Amino acid sequence: MFGFIAFGFKLLFAAIAGGALSYIPGEETQNHKIVETSLICIFGAAILGLTSQLHFGEFNIVTGIGILAVIMGIISISKNLDFINRMVWLFSGVSGMIIGAGYILQAILLVALVYIILRNSEQLLNYFDQEAEGSDDGSIENVSN
């Protein structure tokens, strides 16, 4: 009974983490993306949660097959997507697999990092571009003097 409750909590956390990847505050037109990433995250958590319970000896071949099945499934259904959405789906599946394995805090950290990168990509690129332009000019002036 305890395993059933833990599995239910894993699926609940997977739904929240998957939906958080596509959530943009103040934007209502992208609700289907929230549902898609949430379902992909639940799929990864369910497959890995079930396969991690099946132990045949020392080797966890069934868990490895579950990981391959999730990754290959996501790759096959996301062939027609652009790069950003495809990567969001892959990270959603990976975070679901991490949650399914029982590492909820690590999955939350991964989701937070991916969310920050996705939502602040323009500012990050401008910061690195501005920093690179400032450092190039100073080195040329020092050499010529």
Domain count for the chain: 1
Residue 135 belongs to some domain of the structure: no
For residue 94, what pLDDT is reported?
94
Q: Is residue 140 part of a domain?
A: no
Tokens of 43: 């799929």
CA of 75: how far to CAs of 21, 25, 48, 85, in Å? 18, 28, 17, 12
Does some domain include residue 35? yes
Residue 52's pLDDT is 81
On whether residue 134 sits in a domain, the answer given is no
Question: Is 142 inside any structural domain?
Answer: no
Given a contact cutoff of 8 angstroms between Cβ atoms, the answer to whether 95 and 16 are in contact is no
Give 58's DSSP letter.
S
Give domain status of residue 28, yes or no: yes
Q: What is the pLDDT along the chain (145 residues), one digit of tens a residue?
A: 777 888 889 999 999 998 888 887 776 667 888 889 999 999 999 999 888 877 776 777 888 888 999 999 999 999 999 998 899 999 999 999 999 988 999 999 999 999 888 888 777 777 777 765 655 545 555 555 5
Assess if residue 23 is contained within a domain: yes
2, 93, 6, 92: which is closest to 49 by C-alpha?
6
- The pLDDT, as a whole number, for residue 31 is 80
Domain range for 86: 2-120
Instruction: With respect to residue 131, please indicate whether it lies within any of the assigned structural domains.
Output: no
- Written as one letter, the residue type at 97 is M
Q: What is the DSSP string of 54-92?
A: ---SS--HHHHHHHHHHHHHHHHHTTTS-HHHHHHHHHH
In this structure, is the dihedral angle defined by the CA atoms of residues 76, 122, 37 and 93, taken in order, positive or negative? positive
